[in-house]
Structure 1
Amino acid sequence: MQINKGVINMLFISIVGLFSTVSFSQQLDPVLTELINKGLNKSQTVNIKAIEAQQAKLDQRLAKSVFIPKVTFNGSFTRLNDDITFGEDTQNLLVATQKLVIKEALQIPFNAPFPGEIPLKDTPNLQDKNILKTSVDLDWVLFSGFEATIAIKASKHKESSLKYLGMAEKDKLALKIIEAYDKLALVYASEKVLNTSEKYLDEQAFYVKKAIENGLATPIGRKKIELAQQQLAGKKLEFEHNKTLLIEVLFQLTGESRENLRMLRPELETFSLNSNSNVEKRNEIKALEEAEQATIYKSKMEKSHFIPKVAVKGHYEFIEDYLSLLDPKWYVGVGIKWNVFDGNQSNLKAQKSKLESEIYRERIEEAEEMIDLSIVKAEQTYQSTLQNSKIVEKEIELATDTYEMVNKQFKNDLASINEVLDALTNLEKANFKLQESYFDQRRAVTEMLHAKGTLKY
């Protein structure tokens, strides 16, 4: 039984056809895009960064609220052990003064006795022992010494930093999902190669069986075919394990049901990349720059403690009857608070914040160096994968021709079954290498785009 060369060539064309060249600038597979979106919505890390950004936004509102008047209603009841009164001498003086005023009003001589029928008023208490108070207080900061204004700016930069960190986490998660999706595509592409190899082995088994029946081969040949079939079954089992594992990974990353993930049939595609594509600032760099600005404003805020603060204070008592003779019913005042010396605490805190900003500057420079290095590495890896793909394609051609030649020789008793199986194994390995080459190429492209800050999903 002769295997047609055209069948092998069609196999090669069908495998290579899986990897049609497209531009990465185009949209990703819609299914992959949907999985990425689901993963971003599910990710606890991304959600935490979003919540932290909301907290920073609330910090801005808190800083602005410093200038909003604060109104407080108060209520209290107090009982003293006794009324607070004037001393005995003071009370006698007040009574004598009251008698003089009455005598003068009645035109009674100064030295005449005071008429007993005229009642005198009791001397009021300084404070009754029962005190019931209900009041309202007003506190209004007119000028915070720029402290609140600077705090608002610091919070804005902190919010931006957290947002960029969230976007960086999204990029990392998208890379994980794309890699798992591509690995699943690689597994399914490998399955097609295994199925084709199984077809070849079945044809060889059929031929060996006929050859044994006609005395042209020994049972040893059949056992070798059976061994090759068992080895292929082991590879198929490995394929099932890899598929199950990748489906579980995608399930954990995206939250998509396992049933839907099992229905996916992703295909690998090789990507062309413009090596002169622009480099955009990475989200990690933007996050560090915003954090640096936030610490700079924090340092300025610490220094603003020495600027005078101006505030308005107001108070109003609703119940006048329980006030002491010295308590006002209401008052309004403007005050200035000027922190002249605080034990050098503000200065030390400002220096600490400044050093923190210098740390962020060092991290920015370090990250930029690492990104530049990763771009160079990714470009070199991409070029290597392109060259490797060309080499593997030649290997497939050679392995195909070799298998055809050895198969013909075997049919004519010029080659052993071992040589046929070795040629078939080489063809299978070459096909695997091609798929792995395209997988590596996609990895290099995504890593390069991520390094350049141009990864879109």
Structure 2
Amino acid sequence: MRKTFLLIIAVLIVSTGMKAQEELLSKEVAVELALENNFGIAVARNQVEIAENNKSILNSGYLPTVTANAGATYNRDDSVIEFPGQFLENGDPRPDIVLDKAEAQRYNSGLTVNYTLFDGLGRLYNYKSLREQYELSELQARETIENTVLQLFTVYFEVARLSENENVFKEALRISRDRITRAEYAFEYGQNTKLDILNAQVDVTNDSISLLNARQQLVNTKRDLNVVLSRSLNEVFKVDTVVRFIPKLQLEDFIATAKENNVALLQQKSNTAINEYDIKISRSGYLPTVGLNGSYGWNLNQSAASAFFPGTNNETWNFALGASLTWNLFDGGGTTVRLKNAKLAYKNQEILNEQVELEVDRDILNALAIYENRLEIFKIQQQNVITNQNNFERSQEQFELGRITSIEFRQAQINLLNAQTNKNLAKYDAKLAELQLLQLTGQLLNIPF
């Protein structure tokens, strides 16, 4: 028993010395690290960049297409031309004509330009749709950032709660160790029995184990926080345990403007706008397409000499302009089907608008009620700590005077410990409820932490 007790105390002293090297990780720095390093946020930002590329003028269809081409051909012929049954004037057979290494070359190059002058306004609405999709991708990235920040503070406040609980258990251990010293002195002077010393040692052992468990939970939760921050799991730090709540009037203003700032509602409005553009894009299939084209080219033909004609060089330069009109008068009904489906998709988005708006209103009211309830619980727990602190101090005085037993004193100590840990839990529960409410109002990223 004595060895176990001394071992526990030694472990606690070593771990206390290690904590002296910890640096403060403030809430602001934690948010900066998460925004800079978090994997999910990095992926979301890349998606925004892709959408930005898609909405550029280079992907709009408004620019002409320019095509260059060039070519070269080389021929070499070896031929023999015979004249069977033909004779010269002197009566001799007409001799064969032999052409060795008859070479011919052909060279060409050209430049072609095509431009769609009018396509039924399809590219105009497609360009607007791509810009709206970019806005949607930004909203999706914002949602990812908000969820990451909320996840960050869920873990951050858990670290803070466990840190405060650790201090509570350390204080409880200090009080129990003082009891051992006092019990040993009292035993030496014959004021109590050995049982009081044993009871104090049991309480020290229990408090030591509680402190060790709290520290292990704290270490594990710090690793969880390092994962959220995407940094080394062995980073050593401590967190800020000060919590500030948003003033009630400011919170009411945030709730009043929630429909203009809630990210889910904004995404739904963006989806509706995209579907509206889809209707106009489908309708453009009924209109004609007008295009312009032009070309400029050069050709050179170098032919070899033949049996009857000499070799020639033929060089040509050409320039052409043209216009075209294409009107798909009937495409088998495909355009009509696409237009009908686009209209139905738009109606679905209007239905979803009402659904999401109703759900957001419900979520805000629920989140507000939860926040107010948890805040009230926190206030009650604060008062409960004061009450139990007064009761403990009075019990300590009575215990030192010998008017109450060690069991009664221990109960007062346990009551205070429970009140303090409950208060810590209530404090961070209330703050997390506030952050969830701020997320629903669209203000989570606009407030100081």
Q: Do they superpose with TM above 0.5?
A: yes
Q: Which amino acid aligns with 2:292?
A: V
Question: How many angstroms apart in 2 are the aligned matches of 1:415 and 1:333?
Answer: 109
Per-residue deviation at 1:277?
2.1
- Report the counterpart of residue 115 of structure 1 in structure 2: none
- Report the counterpart of residue 308 of structure 1 in structure 2: 288
Q: Which amino acid aligns with 1:145?
A: G
Cα gap change, 1:206 to 1:137, in 2 (>3 Å): same
Which one of 222, 231, 234 corresponds to residue 197 of structure 2?
Answer: 222
- Report the counterpart of residue 271 of structure 1 in structure 2: 245
Give the structure with higher Rg (CA).
Answer: 1
Name the TM-score, length of structure 2 as normaliser.
Answer: 0.76
- Report the counterpart of residue 168 of structure 2 in structure 1: 193
Per-residue deviation at 1:152?
0.5
- Report the counterpart of residue 171 of structure 1 in structure 2: 146
Question: How many angstroms apart in 2 are the aligned matches of 1:314 and 1:391?
Answer: 82
Q: How does 1:395-410 map to 2 (within 5 A)?
A: 395-410=384-399
Identity of matched residues, %: 17
Per-residue deviation at 1:412?
4.6
Secondary structure at the counterpart of residue 73 of structure 1:
strand
Unpaired stretches in structure 2, ≥5 consecutive residues: 1-23, 78-103, 304-313
Question: How many angstroms apart in 2 are the aligned matches of 1:353 and 1:164?
Answer: 23
Q: How does 1:328-343 map to 2 (within 5 A)?
A: 329-343=318-332
Cα gap change, 1:370 to 1:217, in 2 (>3 Å): farther
- Report the counterpart of residue 54 of structure 1 in structure 2: 49
Q: Is the 8 A contact 1:399 1:426 kept in 2?
A: yes
* Greater relative contact order (Cα < 8 A, sep 6+): 1
Please identify, of 400-409 and 193-202, the stretch whose mean Cα deviation from structure 2 is larger.
400-409
Secondary structure at the counterpart of residue 139 of structure 2:
helix
Q: Is the 8 A contact 1:270 1:438 kept in 2?
A: no
Q: Which amino acid aligns with 1:361?
A: E
- Report the counterpart of residue 66 of structure 2 in structure 1: 71
Per-residue deviation at 1:66?
2.5
Q: Is the 8 A contact 1:315 1:331 kept in 2?
A: yes
Please identify, of 60-69 and 202-211, the stretch whose mean Cα deviation from structure 2 is larger.
60-69
**Residue 357 in 1 paired to residue 346 in 2?**
yes
* Higher strand fraction (1 or 2): 2
- Report the counterpart of residue 101 of structure 1 in structure 2: none
Q: Is the 8 A contact 2:26 2:239 kept in 1?
A: no
Q: Is the 8 A contact 2:35 2:41 kept in 1?
A: yes
- Report the counterpart of residue 389 of structure 1 in structure 2: 378
**1:292-339: per-residue Cα shift (whole Å, max 9, x none)?**
21122122112212211111122333015489x9x9944321101111
**Residue 153 in 1 paired to residue 128 in 2?**
yes
**1:399-419: per-residue Cα shift (whole Å, max 9, x none)?**
234334443444454433222
Secondary structure at the counterpart of residue 276 of structure 1:
helix
Q: Is the 8 A contact 1:186 1:268 kept in 2?
A: no
**1:383-424: per-residue Cα shift (whole Å, max 9, x none)?**
223322332233223323433444344445443322211111
Q: Which amino acid aligns with 2:431?
A: R
Question: How many angstroms apart in 2 are the aligned matches of 1:322 and 1:74?
Answer: 20
**Residue 297 in 1 paired to residue 277 in 2?**
yes
Question: How many angstroms apart in 2 are the aligned matches of 1:268 and 1:170?
Answer: 23
Secondary structure at the counterpart of residue 252 of structure 2:
coil
Secondary structure at the counterpart of residue 311 of structure 1:
strand
Q: How does 1:61-100 map to 2 (within 5 A)?
A: 61=56, 66-76=61-71
Question: How many angstroms apart in 1 are the aligned matches of 2:246 and 2:105?
Answer: 89
Task: Give me the CA root mean square deviation.
Answer: 3.1
Unpaired stretches in structure 1, ≥5 consecutive residues: 1-28, 83-128
Question: How many angstroms apart in 2 are the aligned matches of 1:382 and 1:140?
Answer: 60
Per-residue deviation at 1:150?
0.9
Cα gap change, 1:402 to 1:138, in 2 (>3 Å): closer
Cα gap change, 1:316 to 1:271, in 2 (>3 Å): closer
Q: Which amino acid aligns with 2:275?
A: T
How many residues were matched structurally? 382
Question: How many angstroms apart in 2 are the aligned matches of 1:320 and 1:231?
Answer: 100
Q: Which amino acid aligns with 1:269?
A: V
Which one of 135, 141, 147 corresponds to residue 116 of structure 2?
Answer: 141
Which one of 434, 444, 447 corresponds to residue 436 of structure 2?
Answer: 447
Q: Is the 8 A contact 1:184 1:266 kept in 2?
A: no
- Report the counterpart of residue 282 of structure 1 in structure 2: 262
Q: Which amino acid aligns with 1:389?
A: F
Question: How many angstroms apart in 2 are the aligned matches of 1:213 and 1:188?
Answer: 38
Secondary structure at the counterpart of residue 156 of structure 1:
helix
**1:113-153: per-residue Cα shift (whole Å, max 9, x none)?**
xxxxxxxxxxxxxxxx9765332222122112211111110
Per-residue deviation at 1:270?
4.3
Cα gap change, 1:37 to 1:348, in 2 (>3 Å): farther
**Residue 207 in 1 paired to residue 182 in 2?**
yes
Question: How many angstroms apart in 1 are the aligned matches of 2:216 and 2:410?
Answer: 25
Cα gap change, 1:350 to 1:46, in 2 (>3 Å): farther
Q: Is the 8 A contact 1:63 1:149 kept in 2?
A: no
Which one of 316, 319, 337 corresponds to residue 299 of structure 2?
Answer: 319
Per-residue deviation at 1:158?
0.4
- Report the counterpart of residue 30 of structure 2 in structure 1: 35
